[in-house]
Amino acid sequence: MQIKVLDTTLRDGEQTPGVSLTSKEKLRIASKLDEIGLDYIEAGSAITSEGERESIKEITSQGFNAEILSFSRPLTRDIDYCLDCDVDAVNLVVPTSDLHIFDKLKITKDELIEMSNSAVDYCKDHGLTVELSAEDASRSSIDFLRKVFLNAIDQGADRVCVCDTVGILTPDTSFELFNNLRDINAPISCHYHNDFGLAVANTLSAIKAGACEFHSTVNGIGERAGNTSFEECVVAINRLLPDFSTDIKIHEIYNISKLVARLTGVYIQPNKAIVGENAFAHESGIHSDGIIKNSATYEPMTPELVGRTRRFIVGKHMGTHGLDSRLKELGLDVDKVQLQQICDNIKELADKGKTVTDVDLQAIADNVLDINHEDRIKLEDVTIVSGNRVMPTASVKLNVDGEEILNAGVGIGPVDAAINAIKSLEIFDDIDFIEYHVDAITGGTDALIDVIIKLQKGDRILSARGTEPDIIDASVKAYISGVNRLLQE
C-alpha cells in the first residue's frame, strides 16, 4: 500500500522556539521537498502575517507537483486568506476534545460541529481541497470524533486527520484508535507530536491500523519535543513495513535534513537515527571488523540508501581492522607491527580522556612512519579588535603556499571574526565548517582552552583540535590544522 506524506516543516516545524524562516528560505525547503517526492506540503498559516502570505504565494506560484496547503481555523476570515494565497488545499484544524471545546473555545459540541460543517462547506464552495484535522483527537471521545469526521465528509471533506496534539498515545493505543476508525469512508491520516518520544512508533502503528497518510517535519522539529520525524518514518516504512511504501526518494533524505538544519539553525543530535553524524559511525573493534567483512552484521541498512557514507571512529574501543581501514582512507599503508603500534598509541591517548581526532591520528601515524607533511597554510599572526560599540574585527597574516597574505573579517564575536577572516580566502571555498565545540580543561581564568571542530570537504568529514590558553588562538589553530589535513588528502 502506498502511504502519502504531508510535510509540515514550514508550518509546525517553524513553530520551533527560535526558528523564523525568510520567504527565500521557505522556498528553498519547499523546492527540495517537492523534488524528493512529497505528496503534500503545508506551506504555512496564511492568517499569521502579511510576510507569511507572501511566502505561501511564492511557493504556490512555482507549479510544484506536490499539493500546497495552508493551515486554517474553521473561520471564514482564515479561509479567505488561504484563498488569497492561491493554495490547492487547506488543513482545516477543528478541536474535538472537551478540554479544547469547553475551556478554549467556550462553546457547545453542537456549535463545534456546526462551525466545522460551515467551514468545510465554505472551502468546497470556493474550490479548495479539504483535509479536516481533529485537534487533540487523542483526548476526545471516540464517538464524538467519529461524528465530527462523518459530518465533515458529508459536507465534502476530502480527507480527515487524527492529531495527537500533546503526544500522549502509545503504539498500542494508536493502533486501537485507528482500528476503531477503519469504517470511515474517507482517507484518514495521522499527525503526532513527540512529547514522550513515541511519535514515529505511533505513526507506524497508525499506518498498520489503517492510516494512509502521515504528517511529519524534517528532523522532527516543532513545538516542545517536536513532531514525527520525516526521515525516520519514511525509512522505517520502506524498510520495516513490507506491505507499505512511499514515493519519497530515500537517497535524498540526508540532503534535505542538512538543508533544514542549516536554514533553521536547529542542531541535529549526533546519535539521531538516519541523519545524525554517528548513525553510520563505528568505533568498537568487534563492530568494525564485522562491518568490513559484511556491513549487514552491524548495520540495518547501507548508509548509501539515505545518501550517507560509513565512518570508522578513532578511539580506545577500536580494533586494528577498523584502524587499518581508516588509515587507508588517509592514504597511509602500514604493516602489522606499525598498525599495532599506532593502535596502542591511540588507546594510551584515549585512556587519558583525550578525544582522538583525525589530526591526532595523522600525527601518531606520521610519528610511527616517520613522515612529515608540509602544511600549505601557516598562521603568522592574528589581531582582534572588539568592544561594546565595535563590531568584532580580525586581521590575520597567513603564509599560503609560500605567499604571505593579509586579510580581515568581521563577525558576531572575536572567534567568528577570526575564522571569517581566514575562510574568506579562495583556498577555503569548498570547505564547510560544520561543528564547533569548546571546553576549559583546567580551572581559573587562565584555563587551557580545548577546541574541537569538524570540517567537511565533499564527502570527507574531519575533526581537528587546538589547545591554547586563548580561545581565539585555539580556534584558529584547530581550523587551520584541519584545513591543512583536508587539503593534503
Average pLDDT, the chain: 89
Model pLDDT, residue 302: 84
Q: Which residues contact 273 (CB under 8 A, 6 or more apart)?
A: 229, 231, 232, 279
Domains contained in the chain, CATH given: 4-264 (3.20.20.70), 281-369 (no CATH), 377-488 (3.30.160.270)
Q: Are the beta carbons of 280 and 303 closer than 8 angstroms?
A: yes
Residues facing residue 129 across a β-bridge? 89
pLDDT tens per residue across span 440-484: 655 566 666 778 888 888 878 888 877 777 888 889 988 998 888
Is the overall model pTM greater than 0.75, yes or no? no
DSSP of 439-454: EE-SSSTT--EEEEEE
Distance separating alpha carbons of residues 340 and 319, to the nearest angstrom: 9
Which DSSP letter does residue 180 get? Answer: T
> pLDDT grade, residue 292 (50/70/90)?
low
Q: Would you say residue 61 has pLDDT above 90?
A: yes
Model pLDDT, residue 254: 93
Mean pLDDT is highest, among 42-56, 329-343, 359-373, 384-398, for 42-56
Distance separating alpha carbons of residues 72 and 80, to the nearest angstrom: 10
Burial track 197-219 (b if 16+ CB lie within 10 A, e otherwise): ebbbbbbbbbbbbbbbbbbbbbb
Model pLDDT, residue 289: 56
Least confident of 27-31, 314-318, 360-364, 410-414: 314-318
Read off the amino acid at residue 391: M
3-state secondary structure string, 308-362?
CCCEECCCCCCCHHHHHHHHHHCCCCCCHHHHHHHHHHHHHHHHCCCCCCHHHHH
Q: Which residue, 401, 315, 387, is CA-closest to 356? A: 315
